Amino acid sequence: MRELYDDLSGVTYRVCLRMLGTPEDAEEALQDTFVRLADRADVYEPSRGTVKTFVLTIAHHLCLERLRTRRARPQRQQEWEDDRAFDVPAPTARDSLDEALVQSALAGLPDTDRALLEAMFFGGYTHAEITTRTGLPLGTVKSRLRRALLKLRERMLP
């Protein structure tokens, strides 16, 4: 578990921070991710994806739960000092390469498709919420997201 944490905590933290917006929430989600991973390691199937994908999927789902809870019960925003030190692993060269690959693939998508993907994955919005926000029909939102994911996959595979 320690090696797995050392390898994946940096990228997992950045995904959580991007989705949740505050270092405190991201740190809690990171911790919850690895706790859940320890509890659910037996359900990992190598044929369905890499360990990294498994860990990031857990983190993504935990962040979505937090975002939905936050929307259901709005909380008072607190101001945090910027100079707080966090014990977060520095990005590795591999993380930077992965991030550059994702950014490049996203940049190649039409603006509307990229906005829909970001709203769903990083904003935590459901298809129905995206429909409400954009005014697009639900079927259109679903088909555009599916098409955008397929294009993203094409661009990211060697």
Instruction: Please give the Cα distance from 132 to 128 (Å, whole number).
Output: 6
Rounded mean pLDDT, 81-100: 52
For residue 30, is pLDDT > 90?
A: yes
- DSSP state at residue 91: P
Could you read off the pLDDT of 44-80 as tens digits, one per residue?
888 888 899 899 999 999 998 998 887 765 544 444 3
Could you read off the pLDDT of 96-137 as tens digits, one per residue?
666 777 777 788 888 888 888 888 887 778 888 889 888 989
Residue limits of CATH 1.10.1740.10 in the chain? 1-71
- CATH of 1-71 given 1.10.1740.10, 3.30.1340.10, 3.30.70.360, 1.10.150.130: 1.10.1740.10
pLDDT of residue 60: 92
For residue 158, is pLDDT > 60?
A: yes
Query: Of 72, 60, 77, nearest to 24 (Cα)?
Result: 77
The whole model's pTM is what?
A: 0.57
The proportion of the chain whose per-residue pLDDT surpasses 70, expressed as a percent, equals 82
Residue limits of CATH 1.10.10.10 in the chain? 90-158
Half-sphere exposure of 103 (CA within 13 A, CB side): 6
CATH architecture of 90-158: Orthogonal Bundle (1.10)
pLDDT of residue 32: 95
pLDDT of residue 73: 56
